[in-house]
Structure 1
Amino acid sequence: MDIAIVIFLLVYVAMGFGKLPGFKVDRTGAAVIGALAMIVAGRISGKDAWESIDYRTIGMLFGLMVVSAAFVVSGFYDWTARRVATLPLAPPLLLAVLVVVGGLLSSLLTNDVVVVAMTPLLVSVTLARGLNPVPFLLAFCFAANTGSSGSLIGSPQNMIAAQGLGLSFNGFLQATALPALLSLPIVWGIVTLMYRGRWAAPKVADTAAPAAEHKPHKLKVHEVIKASVVTVAVIAAFVFSDWPRELIALAAAGLLLINRKISSTDMLAHVDGNLLMLIMGLFVVNAALAATGLPQMLLSELRSIGFDLSDPVALFFVGGALSNIVGNNPAVMLLVPFLEPGHNAYALGAALALGTGFSSNLIVFGSLAGIIVVEQAAAKKVQISFGEFARAGVPVTIACMLVAMVWIIFLGS
């Protein structure tokens, strides 16, 4: 067996398990080691490795991470979480507000950053109100995953798919926004139904300690206004101009990093460097595998038996299944280079975005957002088991996937 295939398989085993079995090597480490191994083994040259990294995707993702970080350090996410969670509403109505906020914020800003920033305070405030935080956290997580599918800038996998398929911001929005919006009432309805009569916090919960642990960022109104103006300008440039998206995002990042009150170090601390390194490593690993000709041969054989990834419905289900095995970003990166978009490029983009976004609520490890919510809740002494996540996640995923499938069939017709 070619060493490139062995390296590729080991890297994607790590993607699936979250680490390389038997070693303290996480997903990012596996991607970087795999890329280096491909170069050292001579399966890809150093020049080709550099050229395989799509600087446009990396640049746009980094720039938008900085934009989202500006809302973190300005205290906007903490302020939003506290204001929403303290609204004098009955639990079902409060859940509805959280679902809308989570879905809309995630469609405009990187969904994982939104979840990271707001989860700790949501735990603290719901417990302080005597509410069971689990349904609110699950609904917020589900809404962040499905809502982020509705725009090109909602998640890294959307950006990767759009860049690979050459999709415009407006076209991507038209192809994905409606099912993303429809997913929000589905999330609310299912979680509300499943937790009816179980809104109160367990008697054993310590309502004081968790709330005291979180140290929210103080709201800096001027910084929120600055970040909001830059964000609106970025979206307007995406919609109305032909400027390269990565340059728009990087220009926005540069403007926000120039600050007299907040250090660039604090801003950059909220940029997910591990994710950027993971994506860069996978670009190299995937390119080295493609050079063996194996993927092309497999796809040719699949087409000969009637299975074509350029069919949006097939891609929708393959992307959804694969994302729950290796993760959203690796799944999209694995599939995009072998697609032949043609006239149905937007249907394929919607299939990837909705398939990977909607299916990611199936199990805890289906998305980074799910992992973040469960781990941060555990740090606050709130346990969300694999089973409890799946009991809500499975029906939410099935319902949302059915809606998306009908939409994909419509787009592809």
Structure 2
Amino acid sequence: ASNIGSAATLVGNPQNILVGEALKLSFSKYLFDSFVPVLLSLVSLWLILSWQYKKHWLMPVKKIVVDEQPFSLGQSIKGGIITLCLLAVFIFGFFSRDVAALSAAGFLLISRSMRSRDILKNVNWQLLVLFISLFIVNFALNESGMLQEFQNFVLNGGIDLYKPGWLFVVSAGLSNIVSNVPTVMLLLPLAKHPLAGSVLALSSTLAGNFFIVGSIANIIVVQQSDRLGVHLSWVEHAKTGMPVALVSLTIAGLWLWLSS
């Protein structure tokens, strides 16, 4: 659900942010391309889960005890206002999105009741190192000329990645080999078609549900749930992830084709 939902906007996940910034996509235009397939995909996800686990909804489960964070009404209101302002900037585009996002983060760190040190303790630094490493590796691949070699290889095989259809298929497949963020970083230089941005963002994100390694979000969920005693195997994930990914990709592909 997090993978599908994150495909709805250009700020929903890292790969969408990359696509939006690199191709200077309109926030509202992308939302028009993504809203219907994301909504239908979420409905499809619920139907598939209901069918697969209809006999297990009320099974007794081990109670998981977690450390609850104290609720702060003031901080919640502050966060809500900043989020709404940020969305307004993204939608109407009257200010730089980069500067707006950094400013919003700065305002969230300003607090009279919470120390910045305590807030930063909750940051997943291992995840940030992972993303930094991905950028370094992909930059090295691009500089080494391997991206051009890959492009020539697929072109010689009759696959034209400048066409939205092929870009959709290759992006979906490659996302489950090297994950969706590296896939987008590798294919962005080939996104020249007017529809390429929406194609790349939707296909790479929705394809992430196939296998656990297809999405950083999957890896985070599996790791954190394992710490709480909830173990999710590759087979169990794929049993639901594969049909969900196939259905959602079909919906997105048809919608983009019809709206093009």
Q: TM-score, normalised by structure 1?
A: 0.59
Structure 2: distance between partners of 1:190 and 1:144? 16
Hey, what's the Cα distance between the residues in 1 that align with 2:82 and 2:199? 30
Q: Distance in 1 between matches of 2:126 and 2:95?
A: 28
Mapped to 1, the partners of 2:13 and 2:89 lie a distance apart of 18
Aligned positions of 1:90-109 closer than 5 A = none
Q: Deviations over 1:320-376 (max 9, x none)?
A: 11111111211111111x21424x1xx212222211211111122222322233333
Evaluate the alpha carbon distance shift between residue 300 and residue 148 of structure 1 in structure 2; reply closer, same or farther with a 3 A threshold. Answer: same
Residue 169 of structure 2 is matched in structure 1 by 317
Residue ranges of structure 2 left out of the alignment (5+ in a row): none
Q: Any residues of structure 2 matched to 1:11-410 within 5 Å, and which?
A: 143-202=1-60, 205-207=61-63, 210=64, 213-336=65-188, 338-342=189-193, 344=194, 347-410=195-258
Is 323-332 or 290-299 further displaced after alignment? 290-299
When residues 181 and 302 of structure 1 are mapped into structure 2, their CA distance, relative to the original with a 3 A threshold, is same
Are the aligned partners of 2:206 and 2:248 in contact in 1 as well (CA < 8 Å)? yes
Q: Residue in 2 aligned with 1:107?
A: none
Q: Which moved more, 1:298-307 or 1:179-188?
A: 298-307
Structure 1 residues 329 and 294 mapped into 2: Cα distance closer, same or farther (>3 Å)? closer
8 A contact 2:191–2:197 mirrored in 1 = no
Change (3 A) 1:259 1:162: same
User: After superposition, what is the alpha-carbon deviation per residue over 1:126-183, rounded to whole angstroms, capped at 9, x for unaligned?
Assistant: xxxxxxxxxxxxxxxxx11101001011001100111122212122212212211111
Aligned to 2:7, the other structure's residue is in SS state: helix
Q: Which moved more, 1:301-310 or 1:259-268?
A: 301-310
Separation in structure 2 between the aligned mates of residue 296 and residue 279 of structure 1, nearest angstrom: 23
Partner secondary structure for residue 291 of structure 1: helix
Q: Which amino acid aligns with 2:207?
A: S
1:217: Cα distance to partner? 1.0
Unmatched runs of 5 consecutive residues or more in structure 1: 1-142
RMSD: 2.1
- For residues 170 and 252 of structure 1, the distance between their equivalents in structure 2, rounded to whole angstroms, comes to 20
Partner Cα separation in structure 2 for residue 323 and residue 409 of structure 1: 21
- 1:246 Cα deviation from its structure 2 partner: 1.0
- Give the deviation of 1:301 after TM superposition: 4.8
Equivalent pairs counted in the alignment come to 260
Q: CA deviation at 1:285?
A: 3.5
Which amino acid is 1:206 matched to? K
Report the Cα offset of residue 305 of structure 1: 4.5
Is contact 1:148–1:154 with CA below 8 Å preserved after alignment? yes
Q: 1:283 to 1:365 in 2, by over 3 A?
A: closer
- Equivalent pair of 1:153/1:159 in contact (CA under 8 Å): yes
- The one-letter code sitting in structure 1 at the alignment partner of 2:14 is P
1:91-128 deviation per Cα after TM superposition (whole angstroms, max 9, x unaligned) = xxxxxxxxxxxxxxxxxxxxxxxxxxxxxxxxxxxxxx
Q: Deviations over 1:32-70 (max 9, x none)?
A: xxxxxxxxxxxxxxxxxxxxxxxxxxxxxxxxxxxxxxx
Alpha-carbon distance change, 148 to 257 in structure 1, aligned in 2, over 3 angstroms: same
Question: d(CA) in 2 for partners of 1:162 and 1:298?
Answer: 24
Question: Structure 1 residues 297 and 368, CA, compared in 2 at 3 Å: closer, same or farther?
Answer: closer
* Alpha-carbon distance in 2 for matches of 1:216, 1:348: 43
